Every structure is written in structure tokens, then in C-alpha cells.
Structure 1
Amino acid sequence: MKCSMIIVFSSTLLFLCAPLAYAQKGASPPAPTLTPSPAPAPTPPYVNLTDLLSVAGPFKTFLNYLESTKIIDTFQNQANNTDEGITIFVPKDDAFKNLKKPSLSNLTQDQLKQLILFHALPHYYSLSDFKNLSKVSPVSTFAGAGGYALNFTDTSGTVHLDSGWSKTKVSSSVHSTDPVAIYQVDRVLLPEAIFGTDIPPTPAPAPAPETAPAADSPSSAVTTGAGSAPGTSPQILLTGSMV
């Protein structure tokens, strides 16, 4: 009797659970919610300093120094592989031609490298940034601090540079798009760390030529009588008749 009741109870339980199990088996799981991934940031364009300096200028002399000293690789890496960027001051070819004393021909290879590094700052600066930069001068260059630092002043928007030996100004903007700024300067920048502090005085301007005194005009000659020409005797007017 007990065995029959157990069999009936088990059968009933299986009958009741079967539809529920079948419903759970047939129901499909909810689709997972996909979160869209953010789009990758665009890669900034590669800046080729050789191309920039070849088109502008003429900066052939400075570009030759960049390539011969391999400093071009240092500047390229700073421009394209760092968050700081770079600012370069480039003298025109005439600036090198006009440089007589001191001469760059006597520099060692290491000194020449430092000289070229001295023409750059390891950070991007727009022209408007120099107004604030002048308040914290001297500013360390790519060559270092101390004798390799530059002083900046901003006078009514004109940026002046002073290396001790060289005093010049930014004459034009060649390229100024973050992360690279290239500015043309009128003179080669000469660091005190290489050339010392015994800076020759600036030659005085040549005196203006003396002007010859103006020739005496006829009006300045002493006249001997009204209406008489120079060198003639005055006429004597006689009154009365001669006897």
C-alpha cells in the first residue's frame, strides 16, 4: 500500500514539473547588451622638419648643420614622439655669411652640436606664449641651462632674444602648429658656454660725413652802394651846373 502511494506521488510530481522544465529549456537566453567602444583618437600627422626647412628660408646652412651633426634626429623625435613638442629658432643663410667673429670653423664637433641644440627649446611655444615666457627668463634651451640659456623680451608683440653674445629678434613665423614651432631670426645664436663672457663691445657707428659750408651767396657780399654791382665804384651825383 505504501509502495503504491509513493509511486503515485512520484508520478504526479514528475507530471507537474515536466512542463516547467520544458518551458525553461525552450526559452532562449536574453541577448547580451553590447557597449560601443570609443573611437581611437586620431594620430597627429608626422612632421618632417627637413621638408619644412627645405621649402622655407633660405635655411640651407642651418639645415646642413642639423644633418651633419645628426641633431635633426633629436629634433624629429622631440617633435613627433613627445607630448612637449619643440620650438626652433632658425637663422637665414645670410646670418651665417655675416658671422665673422667668432668663427664657427674653429669649433669642435661637440661644440657645434651644442650650438645647434642652443637654437631650440624642448617645448612648443606660440608667439603669444613669449609674453609670459619673458617673465621667467632665462629659459633653458635644448643644450641646457646656465651658459646655454636664452633671455626673452616681448616688446609690443616683437619677440627679442639675448644669448649674451647675440641679440636678435624673431623676424617671421615659418611654422607654428602644435607640436612644432619654427621661427626665423636675424642672427646666429652664440652661447656663453662656448664663447665665454668676454663679449667684444659693439662697434660704434661710423661718424656722419661732415658737410661743406654753403658757398657765399651774392647777397652776402658787402655792397658799396645801393643798386651798384660788386667791384664797381659808386656813382657821384652832381648838383648844379658847371661854370
Structure 2
Amino acid sequence: MAHQKPLPLILLSIIPLFFILTQAQSPTAPAPAPAGPIDIFAILKKEGQYNTFIKFLNESQVGNQINNQVNNSNQGMTVLAPSDNAFNNLPSGTLNQLNDQQKVQLILNHVIPKFYTFDDLQTVSNPVRTQATGPKGEPFGLNFTGNNNQVNVSSGSVVTNIYNAIRKDPPLAVYQLDKVLVPSEFTDPKAPSSDDAPAPAKAKNGTSGDKTTADEPSPASSTKPNDAKRISGGILGLICGVFLMGTLS
């Protein structure tokens, strides 16, 4: 009987080669696409209820500032986004009473130049500076209070809750608000200080315009010069008349 090679040894040598050829011919899986730049407009549009806030972010150029900062620097940011209902619930005429500069300040009052998680906001030191500033460069601030995993934020004139984290990954956090954080500087202007008070009016001679007893004319000087002349003339005429009558007699 002819000698036969054992088949199992031949198969064991072919199978590994088959797997190697199969893996070499199979296409490699595509690498995941790199994440694109952060876009505050795209983040809010995806939620579908921030059209008014998006409009103001666009018109004021604040949205572009946010995108540039979070994409081109190491400094994070936090945006408090009022919903469309929040703007609709503003008192009638509130936005129309604001000038262009105040509208920019209003939007910047919802932007914090630092990244805060929800837990951070419960223990943050108040007031928290926003991007908004006053005429003299003084910053507008917000106050945060946390209790039982709930965070309230106050602008001084408006208090509301922070509900939903629209985005919570650094470098940008975006939280939903149901009220617009109108700055207290718009509703409660500070009384002018003594330095801002107008100086008393000056009289022509350089003294204060306030009258004093020294400025009042004395009774003796109240008589007009012409009246004094007439009185003196009358007295002189009377004396002359008396003298003439005595001479004739």
C-alpha cells in the first residue's frame, strides 16, 4: 500500500497563510473625522428655541467673539442662553427702550469669560464678572446661589434658575435660562455722587449766586438818585419861599 502524507499537517500550514492573505486584502476601517471648531450658533440652532438670542448674538458680533475665543485661546467661556419664551416674557417695550450700546451690554451680561461646570456655579465666589462693562469700564456682575443641586442666578434686578446644560464640555459651557438677565444698571441707576453734582452758579463778580443778607440793599440805599434830587430841590424851594415872605413883611 502506497505511503500517504498526513493531511492534518498540510492544513495546519495553509490555514495561517489564508488568514494573513485575507487580512491583507480587507480594507482598513476609516479613522474618525476630526471634530470641527466650536460654533455657538450651531449649538443653539440645534436646540431650536433660541432664535432671538441667536439674532442678538449675530447683530452684536458677540457670537463671533465667543467662537474666536474658545477656538483660538486657552481661556474657556460660559454662556447663559435665554430662550425665546424668556424674551417674549419681558415687559412690553423693554428692548425698544435700549440703545444700541445697551443691547450689546445686555447680551454680554450673559457671557462669562471663564468655563464653569454646574457644580462650580453652586460654590463660586460672587459676584461673577461678565463680559459687560459700564461707561467707565466697570464690570457687570452676576450672583450665583446653589441649593440641593439647583442653581439660581441674579443680575440684581432679575432672578432665575439655571435648568439645562446645553453644552457642558470645556472650553465652552452653555446653560438654558427662562428669563433675560437685564442688568440692574439699566433699571436702578446710581444716584450721582457729590463729585458729579453741578457747582453752584456764579454771579458776575465771581461769587456764589446764592443771595445773602449782605447782598440785599439797605433801606437807606433803596431810594433812587433821581428821587433824592427831587426831594432836595423841594426842600430848597420851601426854604427860599419862607425867606422871601419874611423879607416882604
Q: TM-score range by the shorter chain?
A: 0.5 to 0.7
Aligned in 2, Cα 1:122/1:148: closer, same or farther, shift over 3 Å? same
Residue among 60, 68, 72 paired with 1:81: 72
Q: Which has the higher helix share?
A: 2
Which residue in 2 is equivalent to 1:185?
A: 177
Following superposition, the deviation at residue 71 of structure 1 comes to 1.1
Give, as a single letter, the amino acid of the residue that structure 2 aligns with 1:141.
T
Give, as a single letter, the amino acid of the residue that structure 2 aligns with 1:72.
G
With the length of structure 1 as denominator, give the TM-score of the two structures.
Answer: 0.59
Residue among 19, 33, 47 paired with 2:38: 47
Bigger shift: residues 110-119 or 68-77: 68-77
Which residue in 1 is equivalent to 2:128?
A: 139
Which residue in 1 is equivalent to 2:153?
A: 161
Following superposition, the deviation at residue 44 of structure 1 comes to 7.3
1:63-74 maps to which residues of 2 (within 5 A)?
63-74=54-65
1:177-216 maps to which residues of 2 (within 5 A)?
177-196=169-188
1:1-243 maps to which residues of 2 (within 5 A)?
45-100=36-91, 103-133=94-124, 136-144=125-133, 148-196=140-188
Cα distance in 2, alignment partners of residues 108 and 129 from structure 1:
34
Aligned in 2, Cα 1:92/1:63: closer, same or farther, shift over 3 Å? same
Structure 1: gaps spanning 5 or more residues: 1-42, 199-243
Aligned residues: 154
Structure 2: gaps spanning 5 or more residues: 1-33, 191-249
After superposing on structure 2, the runs of 4+ consecutive aligned residues of structure 1 that deviate more than 3 Å are 144-147
Q: Are the counterparts in 1 of residues 122 and 145 from structure 2 also a CA contact under 8 Å?
A: yes
Percent sequence identity is 31
Which residue in 2 is equivalent to 1:215?
A: none
Following superposition, the deviation at residue 46 of structure 1 comes to 1.1
Aligned in 2, Cα 1:91/1:194: closer, same or farther, shift over 3 Å? same
Following superposition, the deviation at residue 106 of structure 1 comes to 1.3
Cα distance in 2, alignment partners of residues 172 and 119 from structure 1:
15
With the length of structure 2 as denominator, give the TM-score of the two structures.
Answer: 0.58
Give, as a single letter, the amino acid of the residue that structure 2 aligns with 1:69.
S
Following superposition, the deviation at residue 99 of structure 1 comes to 0.5
Following superposition, the deviation at residue 144 of structure 1 comes to 3.7
**What CA deviation, in whole Å up to 9, does each residue of 1:190-240 have, x standing for no partner?**
112222259xxxxxxxxxxxxxxxxxxxxxxxxxxxxxxxxxxxxxxxxxx
**What CA deviation, in whole Å up to 9, does each residue of 1:164-192 have, x standing for no partner?**
11000101110111001000011000112
